[in-house]
Structure formats: structure tokens, C-alpha cells
Amino acid sequence: MLGRTILSVLLMTSLIITSGCWSRKELNELAVVMALGIDTHKDGYAVSAQVLNSSELATKSGGSIGSLPVVTYKSVGKTVPDALQRMLSMAPRMLYLSHVRVLVLGEDLARQGVSDVLDYISRNHQLRTNFFMLIAKNGNASEILEVVTPFEYIPANSLYSSILISEKKWAATGKVTLQQFVNELKQSGSDPILSGVQLNGSSAEGQSVENVKKISPSTLLQHAGLGVFKGDRLVGWLGEPPSKTVNYVLNRVESTAGYVSCPSGGIVGFTVNRADTSLDVMLSAENIPRFSVKMEIEADINSVQCPININQPSAIEALERSIEDKYNENIEKHVKDVQQRYGADIFALGEVLHRKYPQVWKTYRSHWGESFQSMSIDVHSHVAIRRIGSIIQPLNQEVDEK
């Protein structure tokens, strides 16, 4: 009897010290942060957080748009967590960072160096490592987070989905998670890249709901090419064709579209639906590495704007050859451009050398940035055109009058 009493007393006291009670987080006490934006400020960092207003989200299907489903809070601090805590003077609830979908960094901050910011982001146990990172091109991250977007009710989700879809189908932008970025930063044989986003329109008009009440919104968010990093600093932007090149070399292309010119004038458009790239390195006689990029591409023809006879196998083969030539030329040109202008090994060629010839890599490791500029890179592509679509001959062919 005494044993049972003691046991029940013990159980009840253990309920009081039950560990979960200290760390309880009630859902109506949390402000879920969907997107974070960090900019430089003369006093340290300016942090903006796009916070979900869950009650507004629940009434979405009901009536018209009352207030917006997200609120953006901004504050300044010496470090990022300092600024986030200061935000609590404005936010009615505790900020909860586990659901961040996108981290936007201002261009000034990227040019200054991002590793200090990323230290907090990696150290915090609430933030996960699989959200996407973007750079606000020619602007501040807070402006990007203040745009009301069509389609998606929550702008952070719109950014997230657009990153996914444009990387999958368009391949001129990048999909970089924090884990990827930190890995590429820390490896001595590679430099990171980040995708850029810019405002297409005026920031002031984008901030209100009026933006999405028109058929053609005045302000849209647009993904704008890749940013080249040397170490943790942004050094330059790549336009659309070089960005596609980078994605090809890094084997991140799933599907994209392109065109090639016909021998007799006009262009033929094609869709790439499989692209496999393999990087390799050979050592010459004096132990100097020569890199080679081999691409296997499968394409479909999607628009014929020149008068060729598609029905002939020779025409298809000629097209394949001209696409291959175009690829080889363009990729070599753009890779050389990145090499000379930035000296940043964003193609991870250093890691390729490290993996295959680790002893040779040891001699190059400390000065890879300079040595990379004089490395030779050959490109070999092999294109196979598979399908030509639902019609055979192009519509602009002259019809023979019989």
C-alpha cells in the first residue's frame, strides 16, 4: 500500500517536471516566418521577416481580400539574431523560423560577404538547411519581400514555386539550398553561385493589393540569372545564355528550350528533355590538367521557322550537328568568359581534379583561383533529336501545285 502511494506521488511529481512543458509552443503564440530578407545597414544588418497571418489565411475562401495574409516586419541589429529579437517589439507573437522557404540577401550584403550571416543561419537549430537562397539584384531584400504576387496568396510560396519551376523547365536560373551553398563555399575546389531575383516594376505599386487586381500586374518578381561568387563575396552577374551554360556544365538541366539557325536562313527551335553532363580531367605530360565536359543531350523539335525538309534523315542529322556545334562553341566561350573575368571556379572543376588526382590537386590547392584562369576546358556534346512533334513538314513550305 505504501509502495503504491509513493509510486503515485512520484508519478505526479514527474508530471510537474515533465520536460515538454518548458518547451511548449502553442500554435496561437507563434508567428510563422515564411521568408527572411537580410540587407546591410550602417548599424549592422537590416532584417525583414515575412510572417504568416494564419487567421487571414483561413478566411481566404470566404470573402474578398480584407487584409493580406502576410505581414513584413523590419528591424535593425548588430547581428542577425539581435535584429530578430528586436522585431519582437513590433510583432505580437514569438517568431518561429522552422518554416522559412526563401532567404533573400540584398546585393550589397552579397558583395560584402555572406559568411557572417550564414553562420547564424547554420547555427540556429530552428532553421533547416533545405530552403532556397536568392540575391535581390540591384536592390534590397526587403523590397522583394513586400511585393504582393498573383496566383499564390503567400508571396514566399510564390517565390519558392517559381524557383522550382524555372529551374526545372527553363534552366537559366539556379535552385540553391543553404546546404549546397555552404558545401560549395567550404570546398577548396569550387566557388558557389546563387540565383538572383529582381523587381519588374515599381516597388511602391507592388506593395498593395491593387497590384494583383489588374490583369497585367504592375510589379512582378522576376528571376534574373546567376550570381558568381568568389569565396563568400558576389563578384558578378551572368546573363541568360551564360547562366544556361553553367547549369549545363553542372548537370542541373532537366528541360529547357533553345534554337539553332538553319543552313538556308531561319531558325529551328528545339526542346531539350534530357541532358547528362559528365566532367573529366586528363593529365598532360607535365602533370598539367586538361578538363573535358561531355554532354549527352536528347532534344525534340518544337518549332520550325525555316524551309527545310524535315522528312529527310540527312536534314535531321544536319540539325543535330549544327546544334552540337552551337553547344560546343557557346559553352566553351561562356566558360572561358567566367574564367577570365572572375577567376571563380563555379563549375567545381577543382573538385573533379581533387577526386581523380588527389596528389596533383595538393599542388594546386592553395592558389586554385589564379591557376583556374589558365586551365583549358574542352567541350564535346552529342545531340540526338528524337521527336518532331505532331506535324511533319513545316507550315511555311510552299505547297506544290499539282
Partner 1 sequence: MIKYKGIAARQFFILTFGLTIGTSILVTPSGLAHTAREDAWIASLCSLLINILMVVLYIAIARLYPGKTIFQMNELVLGKILGKAMSLIYLFYFLILTGTLLGNLGFFITSEMMPETPIEAIQILFLIAAIMCARMGIIILARVGELMFPWIVFLFMVLLLSLIPQIDWNHIKPILEDGWIPVANAGFHSSMFQELIVLMVFLPLVKGERKGEKALLWGAVAGGIVLSVTVLLSVLILGIEQTENSTFPAFALAKTINVGNFFQRVEGILITLWVLTFFIKISLLFLSMLHGIKTVFRLKEQNHLIYPFSVLFIIVAWNTYINTVYVANIIQQVWASYAFLHLLVIPFGLYLIGLSRTKILKSK
Kindly state whether residue 89 participates in binding partner 1, applying the rule CB under 8 A.
no
Residue number, 147 or 352, with CB nearest to partner 1: 352
Minimum CB–partner distance for residue 131 and partner 1 (Å): 12
The one segment of 11-19, 103-111, 166-174, 290-298 that binds partner 1 by CB under 8 A = 11-19
Site mask for partner 1 (CB under 8 A), range 143-182, x = bound: ------------------------------------x--x
- Kindly calculate the radius of gyration of the chain based on its CA atoms and give it in whole angstroms: 27
CA nearest to 103, candidates 127, 139, 78, 69 = 127
The one segment of 101-109, 256-264, 353-361, 388-396 that binds partner 1 by CB under 8 A = 353-361
Residue number, 55 or 122, with CB nearest to partner 1: 122
Kindly state whether residue 85 participates in binding partner 1, applying the rule CB under 8 A.
no
Residue 305 phi/psi, 5-degree rounding, is -115, 30
Residue number, 186 or 290, with CB nearest to partner 1: 186
DSSP state of 177: B
d(CA 218, CA 9): 67
Under rule CB under 8 A, how many of the chain's residues touch partner 1?
22
DSSP state of 379: E
Which H or E element spans position 186?
Answer: helix 178-186
Residue number, 154 or 323, with CB nearest to partner 1: 154
Nine-digit cell string for 266? 531561319
Three-state SS at 43: coil
The one segment of 84-92, 234-242, 349-357, 393-401 that binds partner 1 by CB under 8 A = 349-357
d(CA 68, CA 64): 11
Q: Using the rule CB under 8 A, which residue among 3, 20, 62, 265 binds partner 1?
A: 20
Kindly state whether residue 22 participates in binding partner 1, applying the rule CB under 8 A.
yes
Residue number, 194 or 212, with CB nearest to partner 1: 194
The one segment of 17-25, 155-163, 268-276, 385-393 that binds partner 1 by CB under 8 A = 17-25
Three-state SS at 382: strand
Site mask for partner 1 (CB under 8 A), range 354-373, x = bound: xxx-x---------------
d(CA 229, CA 192): 6
- Do the beta carbons of residue 151 and residue 312 sit within 8 Å? no
Nine-digit cell string for 206? 507592388
Q: Using the rule CB under 8 A, which residue among 70, 197, 351, 364 binds partner 1?
A: 351
DSSP bridge partners of 190? none
Q: How many secondary structure helices (H) and strands (E) does the chain include?
A: 14, 13
Task: Kindly list the residues in this chain that would bind partner 1 in the complex (CB under 8 A).
Answer: 10, 14, 17-20, 22-23, 125, 128-130, 179, 182-183, 186-187, 351, 354-356, 358
